[in-house]
Amino acid sequence: MGGGVLITGTDTGVGKTFVACGLAASLGDYGYRVGVMKPAETGCADKDGELFAEDAARLKEASGCREPIEKICPYRLPEPLAPSIAAERAGVTIDIDHLLAVYNEISAQHDITLVEGAGGLMVPLLPSYTYADFAKVLNLPLIVVAANRLGAINHLLLTLEHASGKGLRVLGYVLNQIDSPLSLAAETNREVLANLSAAPCLAELPFLENMEAKNLPPDWFKERFAFSFIESALNRR
């Protein structure tokens, strides 16, 4: 059984997939067998009569994980809502035991499995069951991705506080600049956060014009990420 990490965020659209793909590709380059999972993906468009899970497809490509998309992303749902309500409205029952079993299967084949959440840590997978609960039952440590802009301090600290209240281990957070141009807040957030949180900042990622993660030079992530977190993510289950 390999290690695992839940890549969560302070919100939807903050760069979880971008970061997870960058980590997956880098860890692969470092020689790790990288598994990926997106337990539930919502807002999936119809493609050739099937619901296409774009995040899951990107994670699979970046990691080279050979598991079928049905395992990487067991619940693919059409409406852009939290998984619990998207499933309910689609007449689908999300089975947590099934997700846990699939995670264990993927994890058994890889050194490390990166699991991307949906939205933030308190987004529900079931009406009364959040991604924090899922991380807890799997003993998955977290990497929290935050949009580096005005508001990030509060969003990040609230997320870290909730993680701590749930007894979750936080490997660190990523400040990802998804807006252009660089704001005064983005320039100063890192320093402010360092005084308020014991969790390390693993990377501060700049805004990329016309971004296509797969077109980045191979070492782009490696040069910007503090990969020392990986040791404590491995073999800790």
Ligand X SMILES: Nc1ncnc2c1ncn2[C@@H]1O[C@H](COP(=O)(O)OP(=O)(O)OP(=O)(O)O)[C@@H](O)[C@H]1O
The bridge status of strand 142-147 relative to strand 3-9 is parallel
Q: Which is nearer to ligand X, 109 or 220 (CB)?
A: 220
Q: Binding string to ligand X for residues 37 to 76, with x set by CB under 6 A, is what?
A: ------------------x---------------------
Contacts of 198 (CB under 8 A, 6+ apart): none
Q: 């956060």: which residue's tokens?
A: 193
Question: DSSP assignment, residue 114?
Answer: E
Q: Which is nearer to ligand X, 38 or 110 (CB)?
A: 38
The listed partner (ligand X, Mg ion, none) that binds 197, CB under 5 to 8 Å by sort, is none
Q: Applying CB under 6 A, does 16 fall inside the site for ligand X?
A: yes
Cis peptide before 181 (omega within 30 of 0): yes
Q: Is 38 known to be catalytic?
A: yes
Determine whether 195 is exposed, middle or buried from the number of CB atoms within 10 Å of its CB (0-12, 13-18, 19+). Answer: exposed
Q: Which stretch binds ligand X (CB under 6 A): 12-20, 45-53, 70-78, 99-107?
A: 12-20
Q: Which stretch binds ligand X (CB under 6 A): 5-13, 95-103, 104-112, 224-232?
A: 5-13
Q: Applying CB under 6 A, does 12 fall inside the site for ligand X?
A: yes
* Residue 206, phi then psi, degrees to nearest 5: -80, 165
Among candidate residues 38, 136, 166, 214, the one labeled active-site is: 38
Label residues 58-78 b or e (16+ Cβ within 10 Å = b).
bbbebbebebebebbbbbbbe
Alpha-carbon distances, residue 48 vs 70, 180, 191 (angstroms): 16, 35, 48
Q: Applying CB under 6 A, does 13 fall inside the site for ligand X?
A: yes
Contact 51, 76 (CB under 8 A): yes
Minimum gap (Å) between residue 91 Cβ and ligand X: 23
Q: Which is nearer to ligand X, 112 or 144 (CB)?
A: 144
Among residues 2, 35, 74, 119, the one that binds ligand X under rule CB under 6 A: 119
The listed partner (ligand X, Mg ion, none) that binds 13, CB under 5 to 8 Å by sort, is ligand X
Minimum gap (Å) between residue 156 Cβ and Mg ion: 18
How close are the terminal C-alpha atoms of the chain, in Å? Answer: 8
DSSP-based three-state secondary structure for 33: coil
Q: Applying CB under 6 A, does 176 fall inside the site for ligand X?
A: yes
Minimum gap (Å) between residue 237 Cβ and ligand X: 25
Among residues 40, 99, 178, 201, the one that binds ligand X under rule CB under 6 A: 178
- The footprint of ligand X (CB under 6 A) covers 9, 12-18, 55, 119, 176-178, 205, 207-208, 211
Q: What is the set of active-site residues?
A: 38
